[in-house]
Amino acid sequence: MKLLSLSVVIFCALQCQNAVGYNPAKCNDPKSNGGACRKPPVDKWTFDKIHRKCVEIDFFGCPDTKNIFDSKSECKNTCSYDVLVY
C-alpha cells in the first residue's frame, strides 16, 4: 500500500512539473553569460539555479547555453520551483 501511495505522489509531482512547463534540462544548463557573438544586445532572461530565480541579461547572440528565455514569464513558467507541489 505504501508503494502504491508513493507511486501516486511521484506521478502527480511529475504531472505538475509537466503542466507548468518545468524543463530541468533547460533550467539546469549553466546560466547564460550573454552569448558568444558580439551583436547589438537584446534583453533576455536566464535562470540562476543557485539563487532559484530568473535574471535579466544583455544577450549578444550565438547562444552559449539552452538556459536563455525571451521573457521573465517564460523563464519563470519553465524553471520555477515555487509552483511545484510535493
Q: What is the pLDDT of residue 47?
A: 94
Instruction: Tell whether 9 is covered by a domain.
Output: no
Instruction: Tell whether 5 is covered by a domain.
Output: no
Q: What is the pLDDT of residue 6?
A: 41
Instruction: Tell whether 1 is covered by a domain.
Output: no
DSSP per residue over 10-71, as a string? HHHHHHHHHHHT--HHHHTSPPP-S-SS-SPPEEEEEEETTTTEEEEEEE-SS-SSS--BSS
As for how many domains the chain has, the answer is 1
CATH number for the domain spanning 70: value is 4.10.410.10
Over residues 4-29, the pLDDT tens digits come to 444 444 444 444 444 455 677 889 99
- The pTM assigned to this predicted structure is 0.67
> What's the domain range around 61?
20-78
Instruction: Tell whether 49 is covered by a domain.
Output: yes
